[in-house]
Chains A and B, each alone.
Chain A
């Protein structure tokens, strides 16, 4: 082949590559409506302000704690890197990745995920991992998380997974080609509905009360990483104890034991619902499985006091720059709470 032909071919290949890159951007789900949770992981990167507290965990974290309330009442900055059914290894790798951007003073980890010792579901994997920026941490997270039917290549090139979406393209796919609108308030996904809790029943019988060993291994890694960086790791259990997401006494014993052995603070909010002021007729949007905004504010208010008094987290409300940033966040938060979006 002559030199001109080589150059022409290279240009053609480059054009092809660019086209495929655009196609990938177009065909990836945008999560701006319906499953908004899918947009949560990536939303973190657009918040450039520092955070003293990082929350990690599943819906018991991103629907139970409200960073704007933490700021408004205590001046504590926070971010919730939560996703639906976030597993322990997801939390670990999200922590490791977050530490590339900032070093919080405290990491709050909700322990409900300790019950899952195996990859559960492709959809939940995708929601955590697709939003992560490319890095070696992401590669390790993918490798640890994949179910049997998934392929590594489809995470590197999401086009391989979402190629058939060309049949389902909507206006949002074009509108959000290069950007996303925020769906959370520093990671808090607001729920304003009220569906009272009517039944208080236990979960289904456990076949094996032992929490999976692999979960403790990843919890150890989180603990070690926090120690190395001088971060306070705090274990929590949200106050919800719904039959479908039941927290068993046997699991509680194991977490208490682990926390004791490793000198970690652990707060189980289930027995403290009265002290927190929770009212199951008004503070839940799904019959007691998760808190709505009213319940989340009460819990946050209670927990914020602990963060201030037990862990000495700073009140930044005197910081003009931070105040300005959080003023905007709180306005948006109040607007959604009062009926806007």
Chain B
């Protein structure tokens, strides 16, 4: 009788203890993040903007600032236009040494990714090069590596835009 009670209670314990299991997802393999190469300069979302802009200064990037709707809020997004693409950053104010690259957006098909995909490529060509996407919808293919993501925007099976973005 005693043993029966103990057995039942032990079984209950095991059952209840398993209820506590959450389990962590296995960490993503820290495969190398995608980066964009332009005129010998490697550009990665999440990096500091100053050295990249310095290296690309020969291309005279034009800039435009997007301020917040609220006049008292610090911090602004800035876009720098370069041939075939643009870099979008975030900074606290002009001259901020920690200005960070948030996005790299291709504007036309004059530039391509390091793996050779440009605007106008087919979705299949993207998958052939990069494999199965981490996120696939009718409108985009996204590949995540660590804290960055490479995104191919699609329309009717063709790539209409390409961007590198930071997830930080």
Contact = CB atoms under 8 A, between A and B. Distances in A.
Q: Direct contact between A and B in the complex (CB less than 8 angstroms)?
A: yes
Interface of A: 34-37, 58-59, 84-85, 123-124, 127, 198-199, 201-202, 204-209, 242-245, 286-289
Given A34-B72, A201-B86, A207 B140 contact: yes
Contacts of A206: 139, 153
Contacts of B65: 286-287
Contacts of A287: 64-65
B87 to A, nearest CB: 11
B15 interface: no
Contact of A199 (B64, B68, B103, B151): B64
Given A201-B64, A201-B107, A207-B151, A84 B69 contact: yes
B81 A201 contact: yes
Contacts of B16: none
B62 A199 contact: yes
B88 interface: yes
Nearest to A84: B69
A271 B46 CA distance: 36
Contacts, number: 71
Interface residues of B, number: 29
Contact of B79 (A35, A84, A199): A199
Given A37-B71, A201-B81, A204-B88, A242 B66 contact: yes
A123 B163 contact: no
A198 B62 CA distance: 9
Secondary structure at the B interface, as helix, strand, loop or mixed, is strand
Interface in B55-74: 62-73
A209 B137 CA distance: 11
A204 B103 contact: yes
A204 B105 contact: yes
B66 A205 contact: no
A24 to B, nearest CB: 22
Interface string B141-168: 0100000000101000000011100000
Interface of B: 62-73, 77, 79, 81, 86, 88, 103, 105, 107, 137, 139-140, 142, 151, 153, 161-163
Nearest to B102: A204
Contacts of A34: 71-72
A34 B65 CA distance: 20
Contacts of B72: 34-35
Contacts of B68: 84
B115 to A, nearest CB: 18
Contacts of A37: 69-71
A144 to B, nearest CB: 20
Contact of A59 (B69, B153, B161): B69
A88 B72 CA distance: 23
Nearest to B71: A35
A286 B70 CA distance: 13
Contact of A289 (B67, B70, B86): B67
Nearest to A250: B139
B12 to A, nearest CB: 36
Contacts of A123: 70, 73
Contacts of A202: 107
Contact of A243 (B64, B70, B153): B64
Nearest to A34: B72
